[in-house]
Amino acid sequence: MSREPVKEYHNICGHFVDDGDRFQVVVKSNHEYLDAEGDDIFHYGLDAEALEYAVASGEPVDNIFVVTSFSPSSYQPREED
């Protein structure tokens, strides 16, 4: 029996490395279902453990952005028509 991957969503705050612009967006813990969710999700593949490390270390994620805080999100993907 195949199990569906867990989908966790988090609100994150941070800034971009290149210009320092701040943001507040939603991230998703796994890479599944990319087509269904499209532009609603800012970044994929960051679970709570990765976000905790990103905040604690202050290191850029993929050399693109720095996460300064995060919290669980109530985001729900749109239903297909």
The span from the CA of 68 to the CA of 17, in Å, is 12
pLDDT at 34 over 50: no
So what's the pLDDT on residue 9? Answer: 85
Task: Note whether residue 2 is domain-resident.
Answer: no
Task: Note whether residue 59 is domain-resident.
Answer: yes
Q: For residue 72, what are the β-bridge partners? A: 10
40 pLDDT band, cuts 50/70/90, is low
Task: Note whether residue 23 is domain-resident.
Answer: yes
Task: Note whether residue 26 is domain-resident.
Answer: yes
- Does an H or E element contain 44, and which? strand 43-44
Q: Which two tokens stand for residue 76?
A: 């729900």
Task: Note whether residue 81 is domain-resident.
Answer: no
pTM value > 0.75: no
Whole domain around residue 43: which residue ranges?
Answer: 9-72
Average pLDDT for the chain: 78
Q: Which two tokens stand for residue 47?
A: 């679970």
Q: For residue 33, what are the β-bridge partners? A: none
Task: Note whether residue 63 is domain-resident.
Answer: yes
Helices within the chain (DSSP H only): 34-37, 48-57
Domain count, the chain: 1
Task: Note whether residue 54 is domain-resident.
Answer: yes
Task: Note whether residue 4 is domain-resident.
Answer: no
Q: pLDDT digit string (tens) for 6-31?
A: 578 888 899 999 999 998 888 877 65
For residues 30-53, average pLDDT: 67
